[in-house]
Structure 1
Amino acid sequence: MFGLPIGWIVAAVDIALIVHAARSGRFMPWGFIILFLPGIGALAYVVVEIVPGWLGSTGAQRAGRSVVAALDPERRYRDAKDELAIVDTIANRSALAEACLALGKFDEARGHYAAILAGPQGDEPGFMLGRARAEFGLGETALAVTTLDELKARWPGYRSPDGHLLYARALEGAGRDEEALAAYEAVGVYYPGAEPRVRQAELLARLGRADEARALADEVARGLKRAPAHVRRAQSQWLAAAEKLARR
């Protein structure tokens, strides 16, 4: 009961690790990560830089790289590009393609997915979905619809909530509004979040179907308000959008 407040301890550890990072030539980007992510940044620094040095373990270093990838998308992109330059495998190219998508490098991502799909081992639905994501990011929504239609034809048993939502959004972007409404409704049944139903309500409002839009938005908002606090926090963007639509 006479110990230091936990906030002071965290701050002291953060300062010590920032100094360590600076002295060991790792201040960029670790100094900023530790500073802006108190506690979490320090833990990541220990896992990524200190523990692998103690253990000299390739496995520990690989685990460390996965932590920094989540914290620093640019670092993830650079590392993935270096790995691909060393050995051109599907795993390395797909990792780079994912990093490109995270950074909005959609044209580069599309090129990587096209190369994977053209190879003898690249015939997988996840890679075709990646190409559709890149096409959508480039604003080529009609092409994304075509890619996703091909995916469905080739792998009819493949299920992806994110892919289904992307299909609905691509249909809307391509001006196929009624099909988009049906797709939003279908994916909204099982998607782990309110985004499809809110987008459906927004599309209804855009089409002049205000009563339907308000009713759906009100239903979504009421459901989210009854959800646990952590769900409301995770869905705060869509709750706010639903409440705004419900008040129109």
Structure 2
Amino acid sequence: MPLALIIVLLDVTLVYHAVKTGRVQPWAFIILMVPGVGGLAYILIELLPEFVGGPQARQARRRVAKRLDPEKQYRELSDQLAVSDSIANRAALADECMEIGLFEEAERHYDHILKLPMGGEPLYALSKAKAQFARNQPTDAIATLEDLQARWPGFQSAEGHLLYARALAEAGRTDEALEEFHAVVVYFPGAEARARYALLLKLVGRTAEAKVVFAELLIQMKRAPKYLRQAQAEWISIAEKQLSG
């Protein structure tokens, strides 16, 4: 049997499999438009991990699938919400909206949840503030975070505290932002808070203080485990460049 015919038969079989298993987008197009290569990619990314198993294989498959079709998960979660408008389904869709940059829609979902009888949770308010900040609406994010603190005074979040400091800075409330950064660096895990604090110090002309904070960041990271240094590589690099510049 000619090789070309074998490839055609294999591709047709793989397209049929993709349709039956709900993977028609984008795989049917890829397989048909790139004969042989598209089918091989489908086997390696979709089929092989199912046989090999393991969390790392599944994670790798999800990453590649996300690149090929960034809105696949969004469509699936939208369909789930249409079938059952539960808090869990709406929150999952809102989280996915944040992942793919649909910040305005994400904010609407979180706001909807917060208005429900069982949706009054501080984490949803924090997520709403994140969406507002991502939409370049720092004043709205500040208001949401301050309302969160008033409604749930016992709620503590280093991530939320850092977001509040960043929103204050973006809103031009620099002195207040510096105070919040100074407070959050004491307990924020990782290097981001210190790096952002030092960058703001430098921006307002307090260069000597900024260098001290950058130096403290590098000392802290030097003592940290290797995996943590790798996770904080972006902020370590910023500190190194700022001190060497």
TM-score, length of structure 2 as denominator length: 0.75
Aligned: 1:134 with 2:138: no
Alignment deviations for residues 138-157 of structure 1 (CA, whole Å, 9 cap, x no partner): 11101110110000011011
Q: Could you say which residue in structure 2 is the equivalent of 1:104? A: 101
Name the residue aligned to 1:91. Answer: 88
Secondary structure in 1 aligned to 2:218? helix
Instruction: Identify which range, 225-234 or 151-160, moves more after superposition.
Output: 225-234
Larger Rg: 2
Change (3 A) 1:135 1:234: same
User: Judging changes above 3 Å, is the alpha-carbon distance between structure 1 residues 21 and 234 closer, same or farther for their aligned structure 2 residues?
Assistant: farther
Report SS of the residue matched to 1:24. helix
Q: By how many angstroms is 1:202 displaced?
A: 0.1
Q: Quick one: structure 1 residues 192 and 220, their matched pair in 2 at CA, closer, same or farther if it must change by over 3 Å?
A: same
Decide whether aligned partners of structure 1 residues 228 and 20 sit closer, same or farther in structure 2, where only a CA change above 3 A counts: farther
Deviations 1:45-83 (A, max 9, x none): 418xx98xxxxxxxxxxxx89x84896353221221111
Residue 197 (structure 2) pairs with residue 193 (structure 1): no
Considering only aligned residues, what root-mean-square deviation do their CA atoms show, in Å? 3.2
User: What is the one-letter code of the residue matched to 1:226?
Assistant: R
> What is the distance in 2 between the residues matched to 1:79 and 1:44?
23
Instruction: Name the count of aligned residue pairs.
Output: 212
1:149 paired residue number: 146
Is it true that 1:74 corresponds to 2:78 in the alignment?
no
Write out per-residue CA displacement over residues 229-248 of structure 1, whole angstroms, 9 at most, x where no aligned residue: 21221111000011112224
Tell me by how many angstroms 1:29 deviates: 5.5
Cα displacement (A) at 1:90: 0.9
Q: Where does the alignment leave 5 or more consecutive residues of structure 2 unmatched?
A: 1-10, 31-37
| Identical-residue share of aligned pairs (%) | 43
Where does residue 112 of structure 2 map in the other structure? 115
Partners of 2:100 and 2:117 lie apart in 1 by 28
Deviations 1:28-49 (A, max 9, x none): 56788x96xx8xx5798418xx
Instruction: From the superposition, tell whether residues 229 and 69 of structure 1 become closer, same or farther in structure 2 (CA, over 3 Å).
Output: closer
- Select the residue among 233, 236, 243 that pairs with 1:236: 233
Question: Which residue in 2 is equivalent to 1:202?
Answer: 199
Give 1:162 deviation, angstroms: 1.4
Cα deviation, 1:206-246, whole Å, max 9, x if unaligned, reads 00000000111011123213322212211110000111122
Pair 86,237 (structure 1): closer, same or farther in 2 beyond 3 Å: same
Runs of 4+ residues deviating >3 angstroms: 18-23, 26-32, 41-45, 67-71
In structure 2, the partner of 1:173 is: 170
**1:170-199 Cα shifts (integer Å, max 9, x gaps):** 111111112112212222222221000000
Distance 1:21 1:169 in 2: 49
For the structure 1 residues 225 and 23, does the alpha-carbon distance in structure 2 shift closer, same or farther, using more than 3 Å as the test? farther
Counterpart residue identity of residue 78, structure 2: K
**Per-residue displacement from partner, 1:84-105 (whole Å, max 9, x unpaired)?**
0101111111111111111111
Rounded Cα–Cα distance in structure 2 between residues aligned with 1:138 and 1:181:
22
Question: Does 2:212 align with 1:219?
Answer: no
Q: Does 1:24 align with 2:17?
A: yes
Q: Which runs of 5+ in 1 are unaligned?
A: 1-17, 52-63
Give the distance between the partners of 2:79 and 2:50, measured in 1 at CA: 23
